[in-house]
A = this chain, B = another copy of it.
């Protein structure tokens, strides 16, 4: 099996409720987002998929999140903008954009700092 990984970043504000501790204060992060796409077969060019195409899709999703207050933004206005939910959101949005048989988003990791990361692993 082959897996492609692309790393990108966005900066935003958020605050969490019902978790206790300092996360309840409005604050922000430079999130580092790692998307993973998997598939079994390479194409005639020897690639699973062009990295450039994944980057275009990811940039399109990042544009919606970058320099925003996530708590005011759908779907986070109804759903806590935790790193877990951000990872889930990016995975779901990316899968919609990659509409190819045999290629699927397998996981998205959202690093909220250099030492803390939440990953959504698609079943």
Interface residues of A (CB under 8 A from B): 1-8, 16-23, 38, 42-48, 50-52, 55, 79-85, 87, 109, 112, 114-121, 123
Contacts and interface: CB of A to CB of B under 8 A. Distances in A.
Contact of A45 (B42, B80, B120): B80
A44 B112 CA distance: 20
B82 A47 contact: yes
A21 to B, nearest CB: 6
Contact of A19 (B5, B47, B87, B115): B47
Q: How many copies does the complex hold?
A: 3
Contact of A52 (B21, B38, B43, B120): B21
Contact of A80 (B1, B17, B46, B52): B46
A15 to B, nearest CB: 11
